[in-house]
Amino acid sequence: MACAKRLTELGMVVEVFDKARGPGGRMTSKRTTHGYLDLGAQYFTAREPRFIKQVQHWQQQGVVAPWLAPVWQYQQGKLQPSPDSQYRFIGVPAMHSPVKQLAMGLNVQYQWQLTKLQYDAAGWWLTDSQARQLGPFSAVVLSIPPAQAAAMLPAELAASLPTASLTPCWAVNIELVAPSGVPAGGIFVKDPALPVSWLSRQNSKPGRMHSESWLVHFTPAFSQQHLEQDDSFWQQSAVTCLAQILSADISSKSILCHRWRYAQINPASQATATQALSQGLWLAGDWTKGGRVENAWLSGIDIAEQLTYG
Ligand code: NAD
């Protein structure tokens, strides 16, 4: 969406297609009857000057706020505060709110799944899941996981994509019957004996679920190993881990599971820098620069500028 907005600012005519019902991808929050729930990105940081400026702008527009809840750590069997000076931000009221803001005024088609991309002398032609053909377009920017991009490209282009560059992440949200008494907002889990990497208390964030709810992110290795297990496996695993980390009996009001097939960068796979794959075909996304929200935004901006100025 950052790419589409920047291209529009630079005078290009842009159309955006997204198979989802709304904007945000891994920044999408799920709407529940008790408030939003962040199943994907939990927060973001801003280090690059252009992104810092963008975040300040979003704050002025009221779609981003700092997340000031205390950060804790679980290591060697101990749960304790792990304070730092890092500013962390969240979208408000939902993680996708800043993406929605970027999309305002753009020509975006949701629930429009593209299945095939072809190139001829006239330009790029897109085919969707209902066999409709769109085009020609002078350039196409794909901001989807490389494995999904490969599935829609001609074989000679697909072969060069780093399809294993993103690893899966199972996410489980546990809404507790009674408060745990643990005041942490987020917990970095650094215990190799546990299959979990991160916990965050959703009710420490404005706009999210009101009652105490813990979102559990499983490690890439464990998520991959048990990728096809059903929800009951993940519910049980999440409750066991949460009980151990919080040192509490866990009684849940509700549990929700979500599988992200493509979530975090695989350290074993070499990320490809922002790139033009072939005539007018570009790949964008956090995975091209390192898996953070800031990098997703920067990759979009960089491509828009390279595409326009060459
Ligand atoms: P950041 O600086 O807050 O965190 C980067 C890493 O530093 C953390 O993963 C953690 O290991 C460590 N860390 C930071 N503060 C800490 C503290 N107070 N105590 C203990 N450890 C601490 O944020 P960032 O660099 O902007 O990265 C964003 C986060 O998003 C990363 O942790 C990244 O792994 C994560 N991410 C997760 C997924 C997923 O699917 N779960 C996908 C993409 C990115």
The pLDDT value recorded for residue 247 is 96
DSSP structure class, residue 93 = S
> Could you identify the residue written with the tokens 């794909």?
142
pTM of this prediction exceeds 0.90: yes
Q: Show the CA angle centred on residue 100, arms to residues 97 and 106, nearest 5°.
A: 165
Do residue 6 and residue 120 come from a single domain? yes
**Residue 174, domain CATH:** 3.90.660.10
Using left for φ > 0, alpha for ψ between -120 and 50, and beta otherwise, residue 121 falls in: alpha
Output the CA 197–ligand 1 centroid distance in Å.
9
Do residue 181 and residue 247 come from a single domain? yes
Q: Decide: helix, strand or coil at residue 128.
A: strand
Using left for φ > 0, alpha for ψ between -120 and 50, and beta otherwise, residue 303 falls in: alpha
Q: Which two tokens stand for residue 165?
A: 């560059």
Output the CA 279–ligand 1 centroid distance in Å.
36
**Residue 107, domain CATH:** 3.50.50.60
Do residue 112 and residue 17 come from a single domain? yes
Give domain status of residue 176, yes or no: yes
Do residue 258 and residue 211 come from a single domain? yes
Q: What is the mean pLDDT of the chain?
A: 94
pLDDT digits (tens, 9 = 90+) for 187-231: 999 999 999 999 999 999 988 988 999 999 999 999 999 999 999
Q: How many domains does one find in the chain?
A: 2
Do residue 83 and residue 170 come from a single domain? yes
Given 265, 282, 297, which residue is the final one in a domain? 265
Do residue 170 and residue 302 come from a single domain? no
**Nearest CA residue ID for atom 29, ligand 1:** 292
Do residue 15 and residue 145 come from a single domain? yes
Q: Which of 5-19, 84-98, 139-153, 259-273 has the lowest mean pLDDT?
A: 259-273
Do residue 144 and residue 175 come from a single domain? no
> Could you identify the residue written with the tokens 């679920």?
209
Do residue 151 and residue 279 come from a single domain? yes
Q: What is the ipTM of this complex?
A: 0.90
**Nearest CA residue ID for atom 1, ligand 1:** 45
Do residue 187 and residue 228 come from a single domain? yes
Do residue 150 and residue 171 come from a single domain? no
Q: Which atom from ligand 1 is nearest to the alpha carbon of 42?
A: 30
Q: How far apart are CA 157 and CA 152, in angstroms?
A: 10
Do residue 255 and residue 148 come from a single domain? no
Q: Is the Cβ atom of 85 under 6 angstroms away from ligand 1?
A: no
Q: Which domain holds residue 195?
A: 69-89+166-265
Q: Is the Cβ atom of 292 under 6 angstroms away from ligand 1?
A: yes
Q: Is the Cβ atom of 95 under 6 angstroms away from ligand 1?
A: no
Q: Which two tokens stand for residue 131?
A: 């066999």
